[in-house]
């Protein structure tokens, strides 16, 4: 297992050498999207309307941060169970999504789409949302404000600790 410090702009290139089990300290722009936001994004796609962020090259964090306390960039921000987004992930990966951050295993269809698109799936530590929030320096609601904690937010990660769970070559911590 290796350890890397990479930015979100480098993920597509890094996906070529990252292996399941590697530790990554990720910095850069990441968007939160959970169940309700994914549903709304797919409604926009069906209507041919503009999306709240460019999927191509994006990193999605499956999280619904708690309200932001005064003086902090964000409230507690731990990962949610990724499999709830499995119905959406293959299409998003085919549209150019380069990485997802969450927790737990993914479906065979998602695993195949990760490999097909040279993407990567990272896991964050569950149950440590308050600690994880210390690695987030900015948070801005960018879409679906009416969804509250499930709105789409643009985050800035600063060396956010992650584990490569499924790599672009088919390595999978949940199956190996």
18-75 pLDDT, tens digit each: 999 999 999 999 999 999 999 999 999 999 999 999 999 999 999 988 888 888 899 8
Q: Has 38 been annotated as catalytic?
A: yes
pLDDT tens digits, 41-57: 999 999 999 999 999 99
pLDDT grade, residue 132 (50/70/90)?
confident
Q: How many angstroms separate the CA atoms of 120 and 8, rounded?
A: 12
Domains of the chain and CATH, by start: 30-143 (3.20.130.10)
| Given 38, 40, 103, 106, the catalytic residue | 38
> At residue 128, does pLDDT exceed 80?
no
| Residues contacting residue 7 through CB under 8 Å, at least 6 positions apart | 26, 27, 28
Residue 18 has φ and ψ, to the nearest 5°, of -65, 140
């Amino acid at each position: 297992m290796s350890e890397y410090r990479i930015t979100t702009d480098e993920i597509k290139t890094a996906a070529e050498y990252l292996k399941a089990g590697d530790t990554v300290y990720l910095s850069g722009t990441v968007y939160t999207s959970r169940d309700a936001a994914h549903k709304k994004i797919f409604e926009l796609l069906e209507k041919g309307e503009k999306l709240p962020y460019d999927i191509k090259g994006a990193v999605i964090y499956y999280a619904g941060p708690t309200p932001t306390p005064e003086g902090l960039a964000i409230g507690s921000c731990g990962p949610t169970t990724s499999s709830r987004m499995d119905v959406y992930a293959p299409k998003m990966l085919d549209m150019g999504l380069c990485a997802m951050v969450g927790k737990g295993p993914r479906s065979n269809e998602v695993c195949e789409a990760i490999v097909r698109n040279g993407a990567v799936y990272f896991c964050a530590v569950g149950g440590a949302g308050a600690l994880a929030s210390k690695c987030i320096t900015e948070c801005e609601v960018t879409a679906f404000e009416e969804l509250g904690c499930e709105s789409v937010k643009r985050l800035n990660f600063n060396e956010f600790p992650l584990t490569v769970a499924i790599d672009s070559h088919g390595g999978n911590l949940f199956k190996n």
